[in-house]
Amino acid sequence: MPKQPIIPPGSAPPLAPYSPGVRSGNVIYVSGVLPMDAAGKVVGEGDATAQTRCVLEAVKAIVEAGGGTMNDVAYCNIFLSDMAHYAAMNAVYREYFPTEPPARWCIQAGLVKPEFLVEISAVAHL
């Protein structure tokens, strides 16, 4: 099955060789999204709420550029630099998935830069 890279306009530059998203058939795979602006600058340094919102807006842009909506997101992987950010992340996450939220897991992990507090990847089925 052919795949189509998804790179929304104004998306942050990848920090490694990957596409922000890929559509294969009716599935959209969203790479781990970090809280960065289009210039690659960290957004919301020290603020898990702001970083989660930035990350989920980027996830939304990728899913929509692939032809889906946030209602199509079936699964998320959430990485937090510290579980102390869990409540703040969940408060924002709930705004993006108010009913029938996707399946997910959430772990504490060292992220690629110490300024990053939140990273989220997703899978959407159209």
Angle at 94 between CA 32 and CA 107, to 5 degrees: 45
Distance CA 104, CA 102 (A): 6
Catalytic option among 59, 106, 118, 122: 106
| 106 counts as catalytic | yes
- Contact residues for 96 (Cβ-Cβ < 8 A; gap 6+): 56, 59, 60, 70
Is residue 67 helix, strand or coil? Answer: coil
Catalytic residue set: 106
